[in-house]
Amino acid sequence: METKCWTVDEAVDISKAYPQIAQAAKLLKENEVVAFPTETVYGLGANAFSDEAVQKIYEAKGRPSDNPLIVHISSEDQINEIATDVPDYATTLINSFWPGPLTLVLNKKGGLSTFVTAGLDTVAVRMPDHLLALALIKEAGIPVAAPSANLSGKPSPTRAEHVLNDLDGKIAGIVNGGPTGVGLESTVLDCSGATPVILRPGGITKEQLQSVIGHVEVDPVLEDTNSSPKSPGMKYTHYAPNAPLVVVDGSLMFIQTLIKKAQANGKKVGVLTTEEAKRSYVADTILACGQRVNIETVATQLYSVLREFDEHDVDVIFSESFPTAGMGQAVMNRLLKAAGHQIINEK
């Protein structure tokens, strides 16, 4: 299969990008799969009502079929096509954070492909805060199921080149809108019950949610791989570079000790650090991932840096850990998943 690529500058008047958007939307309407940018990561989109189309997502990604997908919409009216019983607090969140990196899990309506919901009675839905994504979904005229546009288990794509590297020849097209902004996937909030529950931390923090609707819980079985996942991203190891990744909760000196020990055993060692500490290490590959004083920059660069390690052919990667306040919760969630929950504590 030839993968078509359309380059569209988001800064340009969307009407001038119409030919590319129309071509990509036509493929979606024909039940083909198209990658497109959002404010979080690149998504891999297909007609959410079509089993044939959604199956192509799973095939292209090599994604387990019991892992549900997020449905992307371009207007609030489309919620009524796919969900029911929207609680008042969810409406308040929609008014506060949509379009934006917040996914709401709601009771589903009939008509959706069963592959979208992985057999669950709920559906995950969001409205992306990206002009090209919204224009594409609107032009297609259908809700679009879209996980991240990468091979299953690999770091999510924040640039069109990442999508092409993983999926060239496996999907019908890619809308290249340049690098994404947030860099980590959306927050997933279960709104199917009386109390909202965070199933996946992401671009909207717990603190932000609570400032609008009050008490919000965090799912205690977030990492329980034996339960049925209500949210995309809950069940399997994700975001992993080729080399084993180990998160280290300890001082720079302690991390350097681990580096020396690994090198003494003949291993080529990579270090994931920040701009503030990159000169503190002696290792084979040292990559800075944003600034520790600005955790949002770490989030934006994390997946790109994880992919960059693959270019250096290291044998093991040691990553610094980060405080879990605010966006740090999402950063640590992704790092631990990428590491398969391998963590070394100094104390």
Residue 130 lies inside a defined structural domain of this protein: yes
Asked if the model's pLDDT at residue 129 lies above 60, the reply is: yes
* Contacts for 90-93: CB closer than 8 Å, 24+ residues apart: 90/191, 90/196, 92/212, 92/213, 93/189, 93/191, 93/196, 93/209, 93/212, 93/213
**The pLDDT value given to residue 232:** 53
* Between 19 and 231, residue with greater pLDDT: 19
Q: Give 230 or 304, the one with higher predicted confidence.
A: 304
The tens digit of pLDDT for each residue in 27-50 reads 999 999 999 999 999 999 999 999
With contact defined as beta carbons under 8 Å apart, do 299 and 292 qualify? Answer: no
Q: What is the pLDDT of residue 198?
A: 96
Mean pLDDT, the chain, rounded, equals: 93
Residue 38, Ramachandran bin (φ over 0: left; ψ between -120 and 50: alpha; else beta) = beta
- Residue 45, in any domain of the structure: yes
Instruction: Provide the pLDDT for residue 9.
Output: 79
Q: What is the pLDDT of residues 336-347, one digit of tens each?
A: 999 999 999 997
- Residue 88 sits in a domain whose CATH number is 3.90.870.10
The CATH number for 325's domain is: 3.40.50.11030
For residue 113, name the pLDDT band (cuts at 50, 70, 90): very high
Chosen domain end from 167, 183, 199: 183
Domain annotation covers residue 188 = no
How many Cβ atoms from other residues are within 10 Å of residue 256's Cβ? 16
Report the percent of the chain where pLDDT is more than 70.
93
Looking at the domain assignment, is residue 31 inside a domain?
Answer: yes
Query: How does residue 224 score in pLDDT terms, banded at 50, 70 and 90?
Result: very low
Mean pLDDT of 304-320: 97
149 or 225: which carries more pLDDT confidence?
149
Contacts of 77 (CB under 8 A, 6+ apart): none
- End position of a domain, from candidates 157, 183, 209: 183
Beta bridge partners of 148: 43
Q: Is pLDDT of 221 > 80? A: no
Whether the Cβ atoms of residue 204 and residue 97 lie closer than 8 Å to each other: yes
Q: Is 346 helix (H, G, I), strand (E, B) or coil?
A: coil
C-alpha closest to that of 150 among 220, 233, 228:
233
pLDDT digits (tens, 9 = 90+) for 131-141: 999 999 999 99
**Per the domain annotation, does 201 fall within a domain?**
no
Q: Let me know whether 56 and 136 are in one domain.
A: yes
User: Which among 139, 212, 171 is positioned nearest to 56, based on CA atoms?
Assistant: 171
- Residue 323 within a domain: yes
Instruction: Report how many domains make up the chain.
Output: 2
Residue 229 has pLDDT above 80, yes or no: no
d(CA 145, CA 291): 33
pLDDT the model gives residue 10? 66
How high is the pLDDT of residue 63? 84
Token pair of 181 as six digits: 């902004």
> What are the angstrom distances between the C-alpha of 323 and each of 38, 181, 293, 305?
26, 21, 10, 19
- What angle, rounded to 10 degrees, do the helices at 88-97 and 206-213 form? 120
* Residues 115, 257 within the same domain: no
Local structure of 267: helix, strand or coil? coil
Using a 10 angstrom Cβ sphere, with 0-12 exposed, 13-18 middle and 19 or more buried, the burial of residue 22 is: middle
11 plus 132 within the same structural domain: yes
The answer as to whether 237 is a domain residue is: no
Question: Are residue 9 and residue 92 in the same domain, yes or no?
Answer: yes
Of 149, 165, 183, at which residue does a domain stop? 183
Mark whether 115 and 11 lie in a shared domain.
yes
Q: Tell me the mean pLDDT in the region 80-93.
A: 96
- CA distance linking residue 106 with residue 121, whole number of Å: 9
Residues 20 and 135 in one domain: yes
Residue 33 in any domain: the answer is: yes
- What are 237's two structure tokens? 């190891």
pLDDT at 64: 80
pLDDT at residue 226, as a whole number: 39
Same domain for 118 and 249, yes or no, is: no
> Residue 319: which H helix or E strand, with range?
strand 316-320
Judged by DSSP in three states, 273 sits in strand
One domain, residues 42 and 165: yes
Say if CB 323 and CB 226 are below 8 A apart: no
Same domain (yes/no): 28, 138: yes
Q: Are residues 136 and 38 in the same domain?
A: yes
Residue 73 and residue 147 in one domain: yes
Paired residues of 294 in beta bridges: 291
Residue 254: give the domain boundaries.
245-345
Q: Are residues 130 and 253 in the same domain?
A: no
Q: Tell me which H or E stretch contains 164.
A: helix 160-167
